[in-house]
């Protein structure tokens, strides 16, 4: 199951800098994870509002 960013996202941008593959980008009002994601999970703990989930 791919990781995804929920509507809890406050668009802080922290996860963008955490992802080694550049697989996270702005997508409207929140951020989204692209198919480039290898599910390394580095971004999960970086999110201050726990918006990145399985």
Q: Site residues (CB under 6 A) for ligand SF4?
A: 3, 5, 9-15, 18-19, 21, 23-24, 31, 33, 37-43, 46-47, 49, 51-52
Is-contact 11 26, C-beta < 8 A?
Answer: yes
- Supply the minimum distance, in Å, between the C-beta of residue 12 and ligand SF4: 4
Of 3, 1, 28, residue with least CA distance to 15: 3
Please identify, using beta-carbon distances, which residue of 1 and 40 lies nearer to ligand SF4.
Answer: 40
- Supply the minimum distance, in Å, between the C-beta of residue 18 and ligand SF4: 6
- What are φ and ψ of residue 3, in 5° steps? -70, 150
């Amino acid at each position: 199951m791919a990781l995804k960013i929920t509507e809890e996202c406050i668009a802080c941008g922290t996860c963008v800098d955490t992802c080694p593959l550049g697989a996270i980008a702005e997508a409207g009002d929140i951020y989204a994870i692209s198919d480039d994601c290898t599910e390394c999970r580095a971004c999960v703990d970086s999110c201050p509002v726990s918006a990145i989930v399985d």
